[in-house]
Structure 1
Amino acid sequence: MKRRFLNLPRYQKQILAAAFDFFCLPLIFIISLLLDTGSSTPPASYVQFAMIAGILSIPLFIRLGLYRAVIRYIDHQIIVTVLTGVAHSVAALAIAYAAVFTSVPSPTLFCIYGLNTILYLLASRFAARGYFLGERRARLRAQPVLIYGAGTAGNALASALMAAGEYFPVGFVDDNPQVKDTTIAGIKVYGPDAMSRLLSRHGIKTVLLAIPSLSRRRQRELVDALTELRVKLKVTPSINNLVRGHARVDDVRQIEIEDLLSRDQVQPNSELLASAIRGKSVLVSGAGGSIGSELCRQIVTHRPARLVLLESSEYGLYAVEQELNELCEAAGHAVEIIPCLGSVLDRPRCEQIMRAFGVSSVYHAAAYKHVPLVEYNPIQGLRNNVFGTLELARAAQACAVSSFVLVSTDKAVRPTNVMGASKRLAELILQAFARQPGPTRFSMVRFGNVLGSSGSVVPLFRKQIAAGGPVTLTHPEITRYFMTIPEAAQLVIQAGALAEGGDVFVLDMGEPVKIADLARKMIHLSGMEVADGTTPNGIEIRYVGLRPGEKLYEELLIGDNVFGTEHPLIMRARENEIEWVFLEKMLKQLDEACNRDDHELIRAQLMKIVSEYRPSSEIADAVWSRDSGPLHAAK
């Protein structure tokens, strides 16, 4: 019977609600009359008049929308509707009373009737809401949760969750002592000290963080405190996303690593972004990669005349072109998207593309970046990262491109691996080019690990945790700087506008993150525990040793020659350079060593050019080691 009623069409439920009110309102009038007169039996004429209460009130309630409210979704706003409806109803009934009995109506009678009607309408609606939500919760087996934050967002989240049925809020938790022990939307507010007791009593395994206005630093402090409770922690979207309509309040999500950063994201300077992009012809190399594709997304939002995608991977090019066309269509941006298959090593092809489409800005994101893979394949890494940058920069010079921005890395600072050395060498090439006469401004942007990019440690940890472990780390003391992909892309674009020539731009990235601590937090926030002597069934953290070329910590600056810029968190560094006349000769020698597959000479030449390069492992090229290296000699 209950399920049949819940499954009725909405208009039938509205008819039943109106019919129930039509029956109850006369009874309320008679009860009010008895209370007013103090008698036990109402006059017959008044019993007949009581029927008018339903006849007059129901149309008014319909007109005011009382029956349009969905019971499961009602909140305090219904009070206004009820008060308005009852005021009109009482006024109409008083007029009818004066007309029928030709006497002045009793003010006390209609005051009692009005108060009783308000009490009845509100009590019946909220009782029905609680009943239907309970039924829905029982049917859907909703998960009990705590909501941390009893403000506007928490209240809206509770209403949305109870209506959706996936989660059932048991209580609010809030630091504000003024709201402690109060009740909001029928849900009690507790202090943080009650959390452990509530989790245990109700079997709660998930806490929803509903304070979207929190700064990232404060959110991290709160997350650190909650990780000790061994519960899954989810968060609501940010205020900006809620206001812009990019998310709903009930779009809760897992805690991401960006929520654990010790600083707020760097806000972009919209004027700098627009000046570097709007109305221009822009080329992005490596457009199908993690950074390159995000660069493209950011660029099209600032409405360039055209965006040229240079990519060597056919699938990567296809995927990013499709996404960008859909993005432009949805936003109404008339941006010409031009997909070009090609390699940055093919200078004639690059020049042909730049001239054909009048390219004025180049963002060079094409690179091999995975440290161990480049260590195992050093010649390919040098070809792509060093000589690819050289050929693309020469093409930009030949085509009089206005701005050329290299995407670099913190691994270029005092590198211990071939990948880092190759990126530092690419920086040296652009610094040398910047000192030559010509219209092209060459600059580079250096930042730390990018969250969510291909090869990032975070997706790997998440996958390992979901599989039950172990979580593999290279070393217990290893630390890294982190930033988000949108931050990285915005920084690259702004650098193009700030560049004077030969600039190295770095971002104030806050404090580095200890990877072992990050792994523990991710395990705890997944509702699990780290395996140790007391919890053998937890997720094991296993240390596998540093990989070839890997170092314990990264840096962003080689020297101390750092200056501020127009952006408060972007710095400009002046670092050691090599004049092109000398660098060109050393690059030719490096090229010859690569052609001869002479890895010992390659390493020696790299150390000569990049004076800070200190290899942390033996030569690791897999083919060379088997054919002519130590493994071959052992045979």
Structure 2
Amino acid sequence: MPRTVLWRPLSFLLDCAVAAIAFLAAYGIVFRIEFVPSVPGIAEKTLMFTAICAVSFILFATHRGSWRFVSLPEMMNLGKATVLAVVVYTAGAFLVSRGSNVPRSVLILTSFLMFAGLAGPRIMYRLAVEGGFLRRGIRKHAAGTRYVLILGYTSEADAFIRATRRSPVNQFDVVGILDDRITSQSMQGVRVYGRLDEIDAVVARLKRQRVHVSELVVAESRPDRQRLIEIVDRATAAGLRTTRIPDQMEMSHVGPTGVLEPRPIEIRELLGRTEIVTDVSSVADLIRGKVVLVTGAGGSIGSELVRQIAQFDPSRLVLTDNSEHNTYLLDTEIRDSFPHLDIVTQLVSVRDALRLDAVFATHRPQIVFHAAALKHVPIVEDNPIEGIKTNVIGTRNAADAALKHGTAIFVMISTDKAVNPTNIMGASKRAAEAYCQAIDVTSATTRFKTVRFGNVLGSNGSVVPRFQEQILTGGPVTVTHPQIVRYFMTIPEAVRLVLHATAKTLDTGPERGTITVLDMGKPVRILDLAERMIQLAGLRPGIDIEISFIGPRQGEKLYEELFDPSELKDSHLDDGYVIALPRIIDGTLMKRTLNNLQKAAEAEDAGRVIDLLRHIVPEYQPAPPSQQARLDDANIDRALAPVRPAE
């Protein structure tokens, strides 16, 4: 039998017994104990009062509350039940016997004694369970306990302290609170020691008391990025790791003991700009009821595209990728998350034009998101033919299949490295952009849209996972150059903007061949990123973890650009994107050059491949790292300036 089934009637009987004892004790105080049995009808009076109390307890459901979690609302219910029972008994006594042998002092004393008898055991039980009797002096240093300071005298801090005390396995011991406004109070018996800027002194003081604090838990309500940066800086200087209490809806952070565990502060929270929030209504209209195909679905961007597209109820979602492992993982995830969705998974390489054509012919996608690409600059630089086969020829194959089979919208995912490229990867993506622009101008049925953005935090092979691995192994963290900067977005943010910008720009009119460029605010210095990540691990840059500079790699620029000077045209920054003016290459010339490019790639003629790539992308100028490293301060300032369209 469940424990609660037994506990409720037992709690009810205990409350009734308390009511009877309080009634008799009140008579004993007024008439003295030895004279209580001689009070006329005392047994009947006690029985009647207890019966009235039982009804009152049922009305206010006092037996349903948990003694372990008793709180102010339960105390108020007990008070209401007590007052109602005494008032009803008093009224009944005067109606029946004009209040004979029921002094008013007995009724007043009964009220106080009964409430004390009901509330007292509950409070004592909760204190016993939460260890409240021990926290005033004795501190148990159990193995694995995390001794933490809380930042913020808030309701979140109060809830966290309560939750840690109720946990049967106490992983946290809150030893103090910091707050910039309140410096002389306590919460749940935990002292407020001072302000955030006094954290060094507080940690030293607790250390002298043999309390070794290891963590600062942020409980402030919605701190902005600047505040988080200040908190992380000060906590790291004091030798503390920084975490924060998650939103109460983030159930993934509820630990095995039932405590809402503090989560690490993520690097995206310290990037210095507000995450762009998009309107999904236009995206829903774009996707709902359509057959949607995603190439490169197993990659970082492709898989997030699939996750978000699935939410908008397409009639069929076709996942294509050439990686069996990645495709299997994504297929399993989407089928589990969206069991009602019609999902088709196909192993396809965009290099295989015949296979790609067969997939398009079978499923007739109305919308295609082309995310398949080779994107790692050093690898593509060492394997230029492979980069051309996937990024240029693969894009042509996918675009031609879309055109042949009546696809309404073809969206190509591009990169800021396509602007004034200094490496094969960027040049190949610019060539792919140029092809999509050229056929968009001439196509009567299919719209070809290109969306360009920068680095994506946490994507496969990006700098963030690399830094995380280096930090875990004790460093050093390797940065190519102290002044190298990049634009960053989170994966979900980038994909939301891709979908949003696509839906919006399709309605802007008949203009063809434009490129949609996502607004990413200011670029971030990679050195700053490395330092923040070391701090978020609770370590000190240059002391606990060294940062070493290894020099720019072949084809790598110190800063990226989002536009060629001739492209800039129209701003939609409220919607999170900018429209770049088309730079159209003659379609016939483009097709002839691509045919020759494919033949050179199949012949493994790397020199010829690069020469033909330069015909398509004349601005492609490979620069050795030694030249790139000599950028002057003016260029660095330009790289750090906000990206905004020219007037």
Residue among 123, 126, 132 paired with 2:123: 126
Write the mapping of 1:548-627 to structure 2, written as runs, cut at 5 A: 548-559=554-565, 561-565=568-572, 567-617=574-624
What is the CA–CA distance in structure 2 between the aligned matches of 1:16 and 1:282, rounded to whole Å? 61
| 2:172 matched residue in structure 1 | 167
The AA in structure 1 aligned to 2:610 is R
Quote the residue 1:264 is aligned against: 274
Deviation at 1:23, TM superposition (A): 6.6
Distance 1:389 1:502, change over 3 A: same
8 Å CA contact 1:25–1:54 kept in 2: the answer is yes
Compute the displacement of 1:512 (Å). Answer: 1.9
- Equivalent position of 1:103 in the other structure: 100
- 1:150, CA displacement in angstroms? 3.6
Query: Residue 417 of structure 2 contacts residue 560 of structure 2 at CA under 8 Å; is this kept in 1?
Result: yes
When residues 477 and 120 of structure 1 are mapped into structure 2, their CA distance, relative to the original with a 3 A threshold, is: farther
1:302 equivalent in structure 2: 312
1:467 corresponding residue in structure 2:
473
Q: Is residue 181–residue 189 contact of structure 1 (8 Å, CA) maintained in 2?
A: yes
Change (3 A) 1:144 1:113: farther
Question: Taking structure 1 as reference, are residues 281 and 550 closer, same or farther at Cα in structure 2, changes over 3 Å only?
Answer: same
Percent of pairs identical after alignment? 35
Residues 482 and 512 of structure 1 are in contact (CA less than 8 Å); yes or no, is this contact kept in structure 2? yes
Amino acid at match of 1:464: Q
Residue identity opposite 2:441 in structure 1: R
Q: Structure 1 614/79 Cα, relative in aligned 2: closer, same or farther at 3 Å?
A: farther
C-alpha spacing 1:448/1:19, structure 2 compared with 1 (3 Å): same
Letter paired with 2:78? V
The more displaced of 373-382 and 604-613 is 604-613
CA RMSD of aligned residues (A): 3.5
Match of 1:432 in 2: 438
The answer to whether residue 213 in structure 2 is matched with residue 207 in structure 1 is no
User: CA separation of 1:90/1:467 partners in 2, compared to 1, >3 Å: closer, same or farther?
Assistant: farther
Deviation at 1:530, TM superposition (A): 2.9
CA positional deviation for 1:162: 3.0
How many angstroms apart in 2 are the aligned matches of 1:81 and 1:520? 54
Q: Report the count of equivalent residues.
A: 595
Aligned partner (choices 337, 352, 358) of residue 352 of structure 1: 358
Match in the other structure for 1:66: 62
1:231 pairs with 2:243: no
Instruction: Indicate the larger mover: 609-618 or 50-59.
Output: 50-59
**Matching residue of 1:507:** 518
Q: Does 1:525 align with 2:525?
A: no
Q: Which amino acid aligns with 2:534?
A: I
Matched-pair contact (CA < 8 Å) for 1:217–1:264:
no
Q: Is the 8 A contact 1:558 1:575 kept in 2?
A: no
Aligned twin of 2:421: 415
**Cα 1:610/1:74, change in 2 over 3 Å:** farther
| 1:149 match | 152
Q: Distance between the aligned counterparts of 2:151 and 2:482, measured in 1?
A: 32
Aligned position for 2:502: 496
SS at match of 2:338: helix
The whole-number CA distance in structure 2 between the counterparts of 1:182 and 1:103 is 52
Instruction: Specify the alignment match of 1:255 in structure 2.
Output: 265
Matched, 1:44 2:36: yes
Q: Is the 8 A contact 1:140 1:166 kept in 2?
A: no
Q: 2:195 aligns with which of 186, 192, 196?
A: 192
SS at match of 2:583: coil
CA contact 1:266–1:569 (8 Å) conserved in 2: yes
Greater displacement, 449-458 / 57-66: 57-66
Quote how far apart the aligned CAs of 1:327 are: 1.3
Q: Distance in 2 between matches of 1:363 and 1:433?
A: 16
- Measure, in 1, the Cα distance between the counterparts of 2:201 and 2:7: 40
Q: Do the aligned partners of 1:285 and 1:363 also contact (CA within 8 Å) in 2?
A: yes
Q: Does 1:81 align with 2:77?
A: yes
Q: 1:337 to 1:113 in 2, by over 3 A?
A: same
Please, which of 288, 295, 300 is the counterpart of residue 298 of structure 2?
288
Contact 1:150 1:174 (C-alpha < 8 Å) held by counterparts: yes
Distance 1:115 1:522, change over 3 A: farther
Alpha-carbon shift at residue 212 of structure 1 (Å): 5.6
The answer to whether the aligner puts 1:324 opposite 2:366 as a matched pair is no
Structure 1 residue 295, shift from structure 2 partner: 0.6
Distance, in Å, in 1 between the alignment partners of 2:119 and 2:186 is 17
Q: Any idea what the Cα deviations from partners look like across 1:499-531, whole Å, max 9, x if unmatched?
A: 353221122212222222222222222222234
Moved more, 309-318 or 114-123: 114-123
In structure 2, the gaps of 5 or more residues are 626-647
**Preserved contact between residue 368 and residue 409 of structure 2 (Cα < 8 Å):** yes
Q: Does the Cα contact within 8 Å between 2:470 and 2:476 map onto a contact in 1?
A: yes
AA aligned to 1:308 is V
Say whether residues 1:480 and 2:486 are aligned partners.
yes
- Change in CA separation of 1:80 and 1:460 when aligned onto 2, cut-off 3 Å: farther
Farther-moved stretch of structure 1 (58-67 vs 389-398): 58-67
Alpha carbons of 1:205 and 1:434: their partners in 2 closer, same or farther (altered >3 Å)?
same
Alpha-carbon distance between aligned partners in 2 of 1:238 and 1:578, rounded to the nearest angstrom: 51
Paired position in structure 1 for 2:629: none
Query: Structure 1's 263 and 592: CA in aligned 2 closer, same or farther, altered over 3 A?
Result: same
Counterpart-to-counterpart distance in 2, 1:567 and 1:104: 80
Q: Deviations over 1:161-215 (max 9, x none)?
A: 333333243444444x3x6545555555565345444444143322222346445
Structure 1 position 591, deviation (Å):
3.2
Aligned equivalent of 1:90:
86
Contact 2:294 / 2:302 at 8 angstroms: preserved in 1?
A: yes
Q: CA deviation at 1:564?
A: 2.4
Structure 1 residues 503, 238: CA separation in 2 closer, same or farther (over 3 Å shift)? Answer: farther
**CA displacement at 1:364 relative to structure 2:** 0.1
How far did residue 578 of structure 1 move? Answer: 1.8
The alignment status of 1:441 with 2:447, answered yes or no, reads yes
CA contact (8 A) 1:213 1:238 kept: no
State the SS of the aligned residue for 1:287. Answer: coil
Distance in 1 (alpha carbons) for counterparts of 2:416 and 2:221: 31
Answer yes or no: is the 8 Å Cα contact 2:131–2:165 preserved in 1.
no
Cα distance between partner residues in 2 of 1:377 and 1:507: 29
The residue aligned with 1:397 is: 403
1:628 maps to what in 2?
none
Match of 2:371 among 360, 365, 379: 365
